Amino acid sequence: MRNHARTYLIWVLLSAIVPFAYSQTNTTIINVRDFGAIGDGVSDDSLAFTKAINAAKGAKLHIPEGQYLIRTTLKLDSTIEIFGDGDQTSLIFNLHTPNDSNNLIAVWPKQTEPWLPAQGQIEAQSQRIKGNFTASLKVGDWIELEANNDPEFFPKKWDQPWSQNARGQMLKVIAIDNEGLQVEQPMAYSLKLSDQPRIRKWQYVQDLVLRNFKIVRQDAGESYNIAMKDCLGCRIQNITSENAVRTHLSITSSARCRVSQSKFIGAQNHGGGGHGYGVTLTRHASENHIIDNYFEDLRHAMLLSIGSNSNILAFNESRNSHDDTGKLIADISLHGHYSANNHFHQNVVELVAVSDYWGPVGLRNRFTENIITKAGLYIHDHSQEQIVEGNIMKGVVSTDATITKVTLNSNQMRVSDAYLQEQYETWRNNKPKNILVHIQDRLCSSLYAGLFFTLGKAKHSKM
C-alpha cells in the first residue's frame, strides 16, 4: 500500500509542474463595446455580451473598465479568453429568471458518446484498462472513467441519486491495442468487475480563460456564479466573485484547470443544502490546481466531493467560515463520496473536515504544512489512510471510532494565538514566486517521512 501511495504521489507532484494544455494561438482582440455594451450599471448589456462572445470564439474578448448589467446567463462552449481591467471591470448579474439552472457564467458542453464497458477489474495505480476500444478511441483522446457505487463504501444513507457512479477519473489515452488501452495517469481507484467500470470518449471545452474582472450577484437564484463542467486546461485568474447563493465556482468533470490569484467573497445564504461555497471540485474532477486564492465569509471555502481526485490546493487563505447561525464550519471540507489522492499544502484556514456528513472519502488525501487558526482537523466515517504531516493548528487532529489507519507526522497542535499569528505573517511574507515548483520540491523531498500509525498509537504519539 505504501509503495502504491508513493507512486501516485510522485505522479501528482510531477504533474504540478508540467505546463497545462493551453494552445490558443489566435491573438485577435475583440472589444465588447463594439457590440453595443454601455457599462454604466443601468443599461442592459446582455445582448451585447452574447453577440461579442459569439464573435470572439477562438480569440480574445476585452471588457474595458465599467459596470455592465447582465440579465441572462453567459454561455461559453468553445475556446475563448475573456479579460477585463481588474476590479474596475464589474459584471453585475441580475437575472430575469433566476433558478437552479441559470448560472451566471456557464461552460457546459453536452456528452453524446456511448459508455463502453471495461472487460476486467481496474487496479489503483495501474495505467491499463482492458476492453475492445479500437473502433471508438485513438491515442490522444481523453476519456471519462466511472463505476457503480459499491455498497461497501456507499451505505444506503449516503448513496443518493445525485451521487451515483461517484468513483471516476478523467484520463488521457497514450496507447491502444486489441487488448485494451493505456492511459497517462495512474488510476485513483481500484474497481471490481462487479462495479461495472466503463469509459466514454470525453467531449470538453479546452483552453478557456477568464481573468481580470469582478462578478457581483444581485439576484437570489439557486445556481452558481461560474459553472465549469467538462473543461480541460481552462484558467480562472484574478477574478473577484461576490455574493454567491450556492457556489462561486463549481468545477465538475474537468481536468488540469487552474484557479489562481482570485477572491471569492460573501454568500447570500450560509445554510445547508449546497449554499455558501467558494470553489467546489466534484464528479471526477482530476488534476486541477487551486492555488493562491482568497476566501471570506462563506460556509465552505474549498469543498471536494463525488470522486474528485488528484487535485492540488495550495497557498489559499480562508477567513470567517460559518453557517447561518454563525457557528464555525470547515472551510476545507472533503464532503464524502470518496474523493481521493488530493493534496492540501500551506493553506491558511480555520477548520478542516474529512469527511463532512456524506460518508467516507477515499485514500491518500494529504495535508501538509497548513495553518489551522481556530480549530483542528477531524477525520470521520471510515475515511482511512489520510496523511497529515507538518501542520500547525489551534486544535488537534481528531478521529472517530471508525478510523483505524492514518499517517500523522510532525504536527504542532494546541499552539497559542500569538504563535499562529507569527506563522501566518511568515507564510504571508514568504510565498514562493513559483508555487507549483515549490510544492514539487518540498513534498518530494519529504515523501512519506511519516509512518502509518494504528489509531491508538496515533492518538498518543508525540507530535
- The mean per-residue pLDDT over the stretch 279-295 comes to 97
- 2-108+205-460: which CATH topology? Pectate Lyase C-like (2.160.20)
Q: What is the pLDDT of residue 356?
A: 73
Question: Per-residue confidence at 444, pLDDT binned at 50, 70, 90?
Answer: low
Alpha carbon distance 263, 213 (integer Å): 11
Q: Please tell me the predicted confidence (pLDDT) of residue 249.
A: 98
Per-domain residue ranges of the chain? 2-108+205-460, 116-201
pLDDT tens for 167-184 read 999 999 999 999 999 999
- Which H or E element spans position 289? strand 289-291
Task: Report the percentage of the chain scoring pLDDT > 70.
Answer: 88
Residue that wins the pLDDT comparison between 141 and 432: 141
Task: Kindly tell me if the per-residue pLDDT of 7 is higher than 80.
Answer: no
Grid coordinates standing for 345?
499544502
**Residue 447 pLDDT level (bands cut at 50, 70, 90):** very low
Q: What pLDDT sits at residue 98?
A: 65
Residue 440: per-residue pLDDT: 66
Query: At 157, is the secondary structure helix, strand, or coil?
Result: helix
Residue 104 has pLDDT above 80, yes or no: yes
| Contact call for residues 128 and 117 (beta carbons, < 8 A) | no
State the CB neighbour count (10 A cutoff) for residue 18.
11
| Dihedral, CA of residue 164, residue 169, residue 175 and residue 177, to nearest 10 | -10
What is the band of 380 on the pLDDT scale with cuts at 50, 70, 90?
very high
Closest by alpha carbon to 51, among 35, 31, 33, 73? 35
Contact between residue 1 and residue 32 where contact means Cβ atoms under 8 Å apart: no
Q: For residue 1, how many other CB atoms are within 10 A of its CB?
A: 11
Binning pLDDT at 50, 70 and 90, where does residue 91 land? very high
Q: How confident is the model at residue 454 (pLDDT cuts 50, 70, 90)?
A: very low
- For all residues of the chain together, what is the average pLDDT? 89
CA of residue 129 relative to chain centroid, distance: 25
What's the residue count for the chain?
Answer: 463
Backbone angles phi, psi at 264, to 5 degrees: -125, 110
15 three-state secondary structure? helix
For CA atoms 84, 86, 90, 91, the dihedral sign is positive
Q: Which amino acid is at 443?
A: L
pLDDT for 71 beyond 50:
yes
Residue 461 is predicted with a pLDDT of 29
Q: Supply the pLDDT for residue 359.
A: 84
Beta-ladder partners of 258? 235, 289
Contact 166, 149 (CB under 8 A): yes
Q: Show the cell assigned to 272.
A: 445547508
> Does residue 23 surpass a pLDDT of 70?
no
Looking up cell 509503495 gives 3
Chain center to CA of 307: 11
Phi and psi based region of residue 342 (left: phi greater than 0; alpha: psi -120 to 50; beta: remaining): beta
**Cβ–Cβ under 8 Å, residues 64 and 90:** no
Q: Which range (232-241, 304-313, 352-361) has the least confidence?
A: 352-361
d(CA 71, CA 57): 21
pLDDT at 18 over 90: no
Give me the mean pLDDT over the 402-412 stretch. 96
Rounded Cα–Cα distance for residues 157 and 142 (Å):
33
- Residue 188: half-sphere exposure toward Cβ, Cα within 13 Å: 31
Q: What is the pLDDT of residue 154?
A: 76
Question: Is the predicted pLDDT of residue 25 greater than 70, yes or no?
Answer: no
